[in-house]
Amino acid sequence: MHLKEEQIHRLGEKILNDLAARGEIVLKAERGALLSAIKGAISADLQGEATLERDAERILEENLKALGKGAAAIDRHKMLRMIKEKLARDRKIVL
């Protein structure tokens, strides 16, 4: 998933506001620093997901090339989803 910087900012604010409103966190640091940390975590997660997607595409293409003409009978989307799920489990990424 790709989010614009503004969307990440709004999501970070929503998370911070909701946690504070429910009393699940007590702000001990500057709000801006906390918001920056949340946005950094969201961005890192999105980058990890994008890397996973690229790696899954690469592996799929390699496998399809290795299969040659037999690759025509394979459901590309199903195979890609299976590869992504396997990579996510191996890398401990929650999709």
Domain boundaries, the chain: 5-91
- Nearest CA to 95 out of 46, 38, 40, 59 is that of 46
Compute the half-sphere exposure of residue 24: CA atoms within 13 Å on the CB side of its CA. Answer: 7
For residue 95, CA distances in Å to 3, 20, 25, 53, 72 come to 15, 26, 25, 11, 28
pLDDT tops 90 at residue 72 = no
pTM across the whole model: 0.78
pLDDT tops 90 at residue 43 = yes
pLDDT tops 90 at residue 73 = no
Q: How confident is the model at residue 94 (pLDDT cuts 50, 70, 90)?
A: confident
For residue 53, the 8-state DSSP code is H
